[in-house]
């Protein structure tokens, strides 16, 4: 038995690995730049001075390091031979993607790289330009142009931007020194070499394309210094006590990262949410099982009576009622005074006006009132399902010969039912525990979102909407582990209920 | 497992009611018996009728509820605007006179025949905006223009939304279950027919498979990733086409790899003696898919793409094949040991022909059960997603989306009742179908 459980737990590992791969792939495919989300769109300093710009850039780099996004994504990369291995070193996601488009278009990284660098050099050179009312509008055109160049790859748009910029570069302003002398001055004279270098570099890209390179695949090995590895296994040496934020413990060492939105550690988010979902689900399962097993046995003994038929129909209807409809109906009709039935609180787990020094009973009363409807909505589905199954399997068992024997030898009815029939009819109902578990975790998404209960389901739902991948990863993996443990427990209970089933091979 | 239990339950329940009827004249073929059994189950028969009704409403939704007239005489000539719209959607154009019409309702027709519900799914009736109740006074010309199920906040007709939502519900069933069936039947058949020991191949084949895999992926998807991305931005149809092309290129590369392997095998005189444990692979992937919370998984895939109801259907299909695969696997485990499969094998048919022409067609019947329950599940999932506002376009009305409006205004009781009731009825009907099929297809009931 122990060996069996151990093997099953070992089976968790590939399953979890595949789930991590799947979610990681999703996070890679998602649009948007988490670093910018985290810095709240902080583009550093638009139009500010050199130092501010550099500070913004530094903040970006620091944040990508902190989030572990400064590394290549995976152990290896599959791409064309035109793509360089170290493209990930371009920190800004948008610029990196644009360079990838350029490579896809022309295939000559050896020309594209100097072009990219000359754009940056030109940008730096602009900081030395004198800023006053005359140069202001042209400077603005040039800065917008740089931004455009970093984010476009289409030939027409790039040439257009370049010619606009050239016009701005060549503006000659007339400066009135005093009432008689007017001198002509080009503010941008010092930047002209940088500009021409940039333009020539672009022309060089167009002149020497090597598109064929984009059609030849190459697999590049990157090694363990990648986002996936660091996220899962960490890059901090084991048992080291270093506090360097760029060194991570990794998922398997309990370092789940931090939320993209507010930097809160994911572990603390989960610590708050998990007990809520767990306790709601456990209460719901206990209620469902304890009521329905009894009801199932009761119905099976009164098979084909009027009561049995009516209850069966009611159960079938309940079974088909969509949870989110029932929950909506509860909220719409039972929680406000709109229809005169303001019996329950509407949202959340506790009232907002609950004082901090409330006694235990006050808290329990308030919380209890809040969870009645959610638990009701969570329970009725599994309750009807289990009852129907229990009735069916009890009926099957009651037909068996050994039951007839038990009745024939004069055993009291109660003993036949509970001692002989009940145990055997329980087996299929126990296996349902396994199939019930994933349903319940999905179900808690529905219930928690509708009733605004801050459990795992709601946390996961909000993480999906905000593309908050560290949180989403953790929720998915925790749910998967819970599901697998549930299935395992069901299998073990199965062998407890039916001694004929054994997981150790008999000779 | 649970399906199996259901069988036990059902067989014991109905066996008592169904007295053995032996009529010499009756057709004793399996399909005839199944049909007879199914007809005896009144709720299932009614469900089937109701499903047909849903399909009819879904197909004719444009004619049942539309803001354009079905037929009208405008400036001397007769038009059929609703029909015409199909032509326009296919790339045609509106007639000149009609294209100048801004508001179909107020245009001056000589005469016009309107759809039974003369409102479109996203048409706003400003005169009845802000939740017009079906029971109170409405600001309409006559009963003909009444909003039978009221309106929502911006004056959209709920009845029209319900009718067009029926089409979505129907499509969810068809699209997602077709995808799930294709994947599930294929996977289940492989696992059930070959098991862990029967699929043998040489190591060269396996090696070349893994060698051709990156090539296939690179040429099928990677170098086309930008065009696929653009296709997704344009329309779902072009996106599906691009992905289809990608899959074809992918398959061709894998196939070429295997052809080379075949040649090498012949040249080197290698024997196919390496086992491919296909049953383990399939069972494991089913287990993995079951362990992930499906709702969150679907949400996270849908959330990174542009909202599209078709995409939701495709993803629901791609993640809900496990039940079908398990049924098919179980059936094929049984079927593969039957004599007629042995006969096919001894006639020298290839494995693939045996599977697809002989084994699968004879094990499809029980899969119908999984499909019937699967449709119910898919409709529930889709309506919950659109209830949350995930993956549904702004102009499309679905039942789930209508239901979610009830949360905005608690006094609009019709918004809480009508769509929820529609979802409930549809789900019940597919569940009843599933139960009816379970009863009818159970071989233990055969007389």
**B160: closest CA among B384, B398, B394?**
B398
What domains can be seen in chain A, in order of their start residue? 273-467 (1.10.3720.10)
pLDDT at B443: 58
Residue A75 to chain B, least CA–CA distance (Å): 15
Write the pLDDT tens digit of every residue in B29-75.
777 888 888 888 888 889 899 999 999 999 998 889 888 888 888 88
pLDDT-based confidence at residue B22 (cuts at 50, 70, 90):
low
* Set of chain B residues whose Cβ sits within 8 Å of the Cβ of A18: 288
B387 shares contact with chain A (CB less than 8 Å)? yes
Q: How far is residue B408's CA from residue B398's CA, in Å, rounded to a whole number? A: 16
Same-domain pairing of B235 and B328: no
Q: How many CA atoms lie within 13 A of A191 on its CB side?
A: 29
Which chain B residue's Cα is nearest to A482? B291
Low-confidence spans in chain A with pLDDT less than 50: 41-45, 506-507
Query: C-alpha distances in angstroms, B240 versus A341, B182, B246?
Result: 50, 16, 10
Domain housing B229: 200-274
Q: How far is residue B324's CA from residue B411's CA, in Å, rounded to a whole number? A: 42
pLDDT-based confidence at residue B129 (cuts at 50, 70, 90):
confident
pLDDT at B5: 46
Same-domain pairing of B269 and B179: no
A9 shares contact with chain B (CB less than 8 Å)? no
* Set of chain B residues whose Cβ sits within 8 Å of the Cβ of A428: 1-2, 4-5, 8
Same-domain pairing of B83 and B204: no
B46 shares contact with chain A (CB less than 8 Å)? no
Same-domain pairing of B383 and B357: yes
Burial of A301 from C-beta contacts in 10 A (0-12 / 13-18 / 19+) = middle
pLDDT at A45: 44
CB atoms within 10 A of CB A11: 14
H-run or E-run covering B166: helix B158-194
Write the pLDDT tens digit of every residue in B290-332.
888 888 888 888 887 778 888 889 899 999 999 899 889 988 8
Residue B147 included in any domain? no
Which residues, numbered 53 to 82 in chain A, qualify as contacts with chain B under a Cβ-Cβ cut-off of 8 Å? 78-80
Mean pLDDT throughout B95-116? 80
Q: Give this prediction's pTM.
A: 0.83
pLDDT at B189: 92
Query: C-alpha distances in angstroms, B195 versus A122, A304, B187, B279, B328?
Result: 65, 43, 11, 5, 13
Same-domain pairing of B289 and B218: no
Residue A347 has what DSSP assignment?
S
Residue B17 included in any domain? no
pLDDT at A4: 83
Same-domain pairing of B367 and B350: yes
Same-domain pairing of B207 and B356: no
pLDDT-based confidence at residue B19 (cuts at 50, 70, 90):
very low
Same-domain pairing of B109 and B194: no
pLDDT at A49: 64
Q: How far is residue B12's CA from residue A397's CA, in Å, rounded to a whole number? A: 10
Give yes or no for a contact between B162 and B402, defined as CB atoms under 8 angstroms apart. Answer: yes
In the beta sheet, which residues pair with residue A183? Answer: A175
Count of domains forming chain B? 3
Q: Helices marked H in B235-363 — which ranges?
A: 236-268, 278-291, 294-304, 309-319, 322-335, 339-346, 351-353
B428 shares contact with chain A (CB less than 8 Å)? yes
Nearest to A320 among B218, B303, B427 (CB): B427
Last residue of a domain, one of B258, B274, B290: B274
Mean pLDDT throughout B346-373? 86
Residue B134 included in any domain? no
Phi and psi dihedrals of A184, rounded to 5? Answer: -95, 140
* Set of chain A residues whose Cβ sits within 8 Å of the Cβ of B380: 322
Last residue of a domain, one of B81, B97, B114: B114
Burial of B40 from C-beta contacts in 10 A (0-12 / 13-18 / 19+) = middle
pLDDT at A245: 65
Interface test with A, best of B3, B223, B291 (most A CBs within 10 A): B291
Same-domain pairing of B266 and B284: no
Which chain A residue's Cα is nearest to B399? A325
Q: How far is residue B343's CA from residue B337's CA, in Å, rounded to a whole number? A: 11
In the beta sheet, which residues pair with residue A265? Answer: A258
Write the pLDDT tens digit of every residue in B365-401.
888 888 998 999 999 999 999 998 888 888 888 999 9
Burial of A346 from C-beta contacts in 10 A (0-12 / 13-18 / 19+) = middle
Query: C-alpha distances in angstroms, A29 versus A73, A408, B317?
Result: 11, 68, 20
Same-domain pairing of B61 and B72: no
Q: How many CA atoms lie within 13 A of A259 on its CB side?
A: 17
* Set of chain A residues whose Cβ sits within 8 Å of the Cβ of B293: 438, 441-442, 445, 460, 476, 479-480, 483
B12 shares contact with chain A (CB less than 8 Å)? yes
* Set of chain B residues whose Cβ sits within 8 Å of the Cβ of A484: 291
In the beta sheet, which residues pair with residue A176? Answer: A182
Same-domain pairing of B339 and B418: yes
Give yes or no for a contact between A46 and A33, defined as CB atoms under 8 angstroms apart. Answer: no
Contacts of A13 (CB under 8 A, 6+ apart): none
Please calculate the CA angle A30-A36-A40 and round it to the nearest 5 degrees: 125
Percentage above 70 pLDDT, chain B: 93
Give yes or no for a contact between B38 and B372, defined as CB atoms under 8 angstroms apart. Answer: no
pLDDT at A169: 81
Distance of CA B374 to the CA centre of its chain: 9
Task: Tell me which residue has tokens 């004719």.
Answer: B60
Residue B444 included in any domain? yes
Same-domain pairing of B262 and B328: no
Residue B297 included in any domain? yes
B413-441 vs A306-320: helix axis angle to the nearest 10? Answer: 120
B27 shares contact with chain A (CB less than 8 Å)? no
pLDDT-based confidence at residue B422 (cuts at 50, 70, 90):
very high
* Set of chain B residues whose Cβ sits within 8 Å of the Cβ of A322: 380, 383-384, 420, 423-424, 427
Last residue of a domain, one of B211, B244, B274: B274
Q: How far is residue B362's CA from residue B331's CA, in Å, rounded to a whole number? A: 9
Percentage above 90 pLDDT, chain B: 21
Q: How far is residue B86's CA from residue B406's CA, in Å, rounded to a whole number? A: 32
Contacts of A62 (CB under 8 A, 6+ apart): none
Residue B8 to chain A, least CA–CA distance (Å): 7
Q: Rounded mean pLDDT of chain B?
A: 83
Residue B140 included in any domain? no
CATH value at residue B303: 1.10.3720.10
Q: How far is residue A109's CA from residue A92's CA, in Å, rounded to a whole number? A: 18
First to last CA, chain A: 15
In the beta sheet, which residues pair with residue B274? Answer: B201
Write the pLDDT tens digit of every residue in A386-417.
898 888 888 888 888 988 898 899 888 888 88
Which chain A residue's Cα is nearest to B373? A320
Nearest to B292 among A11, A464, A480 (CB): A480
Residue B127 included in any domain? no
Task: Judge: B223–A329 Cβ closer than 8 Å, yes or no.
Answer: no
pLDDT at A48: 57
Residue B447 included in any domain? yes
């Amino acid at each position: 038995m122990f060996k069996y459980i151990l093997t099953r737990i070992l089976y968790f590992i590939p399953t979890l690995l595949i789930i991590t791969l799947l979610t990681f792939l999703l996070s890679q495919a998602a649009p948007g730049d988490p670093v910018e989300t985290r810095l709240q769109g902080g583009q550093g300093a638009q139009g500010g001075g050199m130092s501010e710009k550099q500070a913004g850039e530094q903040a970006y780099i620091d944040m990508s390091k902190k989030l572990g996004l400064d590394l290549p994504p995976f152990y290896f990369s599959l791409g064309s031979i035109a793509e360089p291995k170290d493209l990930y070193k371009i920190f800004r996601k948008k610029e990196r993607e644009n360079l990838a488009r350029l490579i896809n278009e022309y295939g000559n990284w050896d020309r594209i790289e100097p072009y990219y660098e000359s754009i940056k050099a030109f940008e730096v050179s602009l900081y030395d330009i004198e800023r006053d009312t005359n140069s202001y509008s042209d400077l603005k055109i040039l800065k917008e142009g740089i931004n455009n160049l970093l984010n476009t790859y289409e030939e027409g748009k790039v040439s257009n931007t370049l010619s606009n910029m050239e016009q701005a570069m060549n503006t000659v302003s007339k400066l009135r020194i005093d009432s008689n002398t007017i001198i002509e001055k080009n503010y941008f004279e010092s930047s002209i070499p940088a500009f021409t270098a940039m333009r020539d570099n672009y022309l060089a890209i167009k002149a020497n394309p090597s598109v064929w390179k984009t059609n030849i695949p190459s697999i590049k090995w990157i090694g363990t210094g990648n986002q996936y590895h660091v996220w899962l296994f960490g890059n901090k040496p084991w048992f080291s006590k270093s506090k360097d934020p760029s060194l991570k413990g990794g998922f398997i060492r309990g370092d789940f990262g931090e939320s993209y939105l507010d930097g809160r550690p994911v572990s603390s988010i989960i610590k708050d949410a998990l007990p809520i979902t767990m306790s709601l689900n456990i209460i719901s399962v206990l209620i469902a099982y304890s009521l329905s097993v009894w009801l199932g046995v009761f119905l099976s003994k009164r098979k084909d009576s009027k009561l049995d038929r009516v209850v069966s129909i009611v159960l079938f209807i309940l079974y088909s009622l969509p949870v989110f409809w029932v929950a909506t109906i509860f909220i719409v009709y039972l929680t406000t005074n709109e229809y005169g039935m303001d019996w329950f609180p509407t949202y959340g787990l506790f009232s907002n006006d609950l004082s901090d020094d409330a006694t235990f009973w006050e808290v329990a009363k308030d919380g209890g009132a809040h969870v009645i409807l959610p638990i009701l909505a969570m329970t009725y589905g599994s309750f009807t399902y289990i009852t129907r199954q229990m009735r069916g399997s009890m009926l099957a068992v009651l037909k068996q010969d050994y039951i007839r024997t038990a009745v024939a030898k004069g055993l009291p009815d109660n003993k036949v039912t509970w001692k002989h029939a009940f145990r055997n009819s329980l087996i299929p109902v126990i296996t349902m525990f396994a199939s019930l578990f994933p349903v319940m975790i999905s179900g808690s998404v529905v219930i928690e979102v509708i009733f605004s209960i801050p459990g795992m389901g709601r946390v996961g739902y909000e993480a999906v909407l905000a593309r908050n991948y560290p949180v989403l990863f953790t929720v998915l993996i925790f749910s998967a582990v819970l599901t697998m443990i549930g299935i395992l427990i069901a299998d073990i209970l199965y062998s407890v209920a039916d001694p004929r089933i054994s997981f150790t091979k008999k000779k | 497992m649970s399906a199996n239990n259901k069988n036990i339950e059902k067989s014991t329940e109905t066996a008592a009611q169904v007295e053995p009827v032996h009529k010499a004249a009756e057709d004793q073929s399996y399909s005839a018996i199944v049909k007879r059994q199914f007809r005896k189950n009144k709720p299932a028969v009614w469900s089937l009728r109701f499903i047909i009704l849903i399909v009819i409403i879904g197909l004719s939704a444009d004619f049942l509820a539309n803001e354009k007239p079905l037929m009208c005489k405008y400036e001397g000539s007769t038009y059929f605007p609703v029909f015409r719209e199909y032509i326009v959607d296919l790339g045609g154009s509106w007639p000149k006179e009609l294209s100048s019409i801004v508001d179909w309702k107020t245009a001056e027709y000589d005469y016009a025949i309107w759809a039974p519900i003369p409102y479109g799914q996203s048409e706003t009736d400003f005169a009845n905006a802000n939740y017009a109740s079906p029971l109170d006074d409405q600001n309409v010309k006559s009963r003909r223009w009444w909003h039978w199920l009221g309106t929502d906040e911006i004056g959209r007709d709920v009845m029209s939304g319900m009718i067009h939502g029926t089409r979505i519900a129907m499509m969810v069933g068809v699209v997602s279950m077709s995808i799930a069936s294709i994947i599930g039947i294929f996977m289940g058949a492989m696992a059930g027919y070959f098991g862990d020991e029967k699929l043998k191949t040489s190591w060269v084949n396996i090696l070349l498979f893994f060698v051709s895999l990156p090539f296939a992926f690179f040429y099928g998807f990677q170098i086309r990733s930008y065009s696929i991305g653009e296709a997704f931005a344009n329309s779902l149809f072009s996106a599906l086409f691009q992905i289809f092309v990608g899959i074809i290129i992918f398959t061709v590369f894998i196939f070429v790899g295997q052809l080379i392997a075949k040649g090498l095998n012949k040249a080197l005189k290698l024997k196919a003696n390496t086992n491919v444990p296909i049953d383990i692979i399939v069972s494991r992937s089913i287990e993995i898919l079951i362990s992930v919370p499906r709702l969150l998984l679907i949400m996270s895939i849908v959330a990174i793409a542009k909202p599209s109801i078709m995409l939701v259907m495709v993803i629901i299909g791609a993640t809900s094949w496990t039940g079908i695969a398990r049924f098919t696997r179980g059936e094929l485990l049984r079927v593969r040991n039957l004599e007629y499969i042995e006969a096919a094998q001894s006639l020298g048919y290839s494995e693939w022909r045996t599977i697809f022409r002989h084994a699968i067609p004879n094990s499809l019947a029980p899969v119908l059960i999984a499909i019937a329950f699967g449709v119910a599940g898919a409709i529930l999932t889709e309506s919950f997603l659109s209830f949350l506002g995930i993956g549904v376009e702004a102009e499309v009305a679905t039942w789930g989306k209508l239901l979610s409006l009830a949360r905005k205004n608690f006094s609009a009781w019709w918004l809480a009742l009508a769509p929820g009731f529609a979802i409930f009825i549809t789900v019940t009907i597919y569940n009843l179908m599933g139960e009816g099929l379970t009863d009818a297809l159970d071989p233990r009931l055969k007389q």
